[in-house]
């Protein structure tokens, strides 16, 4: 199957810092999705992107659909302890997922 490369694999940040993570694909996608998984739970959809170049926000989260349609970015501003979890990108409406970015926030 297709592979999504997600980076970084993990990050430790101080509370209040901004966070950036990205996802790249060898293929073109028509949809990019970003999910967050809390410990012991299933992933929950954060943001969905449907158009190249699209920039969408959801509170402190902002995601962008890359112009080439082969990448996407997620930014979290002013991180707080409850941002802890694993963040996944997904293409093609969830058929293909990235390997995840594990975020730890130090209070």
Partner 1 sequence: DVKVTQSSRYLVKRTGEKVFLECVQDMDHENMFWYRQDPGLGLRLIYFSYDVKMKEKGDIPEGYSVSREKKERFSLILESASTNQTSMYLCASSFNQVHSIHFGPGTRLTVT
Sites of contact with partner 1 (CB under 8 A): 1, 4, 6, 9, 31, 33, 35, 40-45, 48, 88, 90, 93-100
Do strands 85-91 and 10-14 pair parallel, antiparallel, or not at all (unpaired)? unpaired
Shortest Å distance, C-beta 94 to partner 1: 4
Return the number of the residue (18 or 38) whose C-beta is nearest partner 1: 38
Return the number of the residue (47 or 76) whose C-beta is nearest partner 1: 47
DSSP state, 59? T
Return the number of the residue (10 or 18) whose C-beta is nearest partner 1: 10
What is the per-residue burial (b if ≥16 Cβ within 10 Å, else e) of 22-37? bbbbeeebebbbbbbe
Return the number of the residue (75 or 96) whose C-beta is nearest partner 1: 96
Contacts of 92 (CB under 8 A, 6+ apart): 2, 29, 30, 31
Distance of alpha carbon 9 from the chain centroid: 11
Shortest Å distance, C-beta 33 to partner 1: 5
Shortest Å distance, C-beta 78 to partner 1: 26
């Amino acid at each position: 199957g297709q592979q999504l490369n997600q980076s970084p694999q993990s990050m430790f940040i101080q509370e209040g810092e901004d966070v950036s993570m990205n996802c790249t694909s060898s293929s073109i996608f028509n949809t990019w999705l970003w999910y967050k998984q809390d410990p012991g739970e299933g992933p929950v959809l954060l943001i969905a992107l449907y158009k190249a170049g699209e920039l969408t926000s959801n509170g402190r989260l902002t995601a962008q659909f890359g112009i080439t349609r082969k990448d996407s970015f997620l930014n979290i501003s002013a991180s707080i302890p409850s941002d802890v979890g694993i963040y996944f990108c997904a293409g093609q409406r969830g058929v293909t997922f990235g390997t995840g970015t594990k975020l730890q926030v130090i209070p």
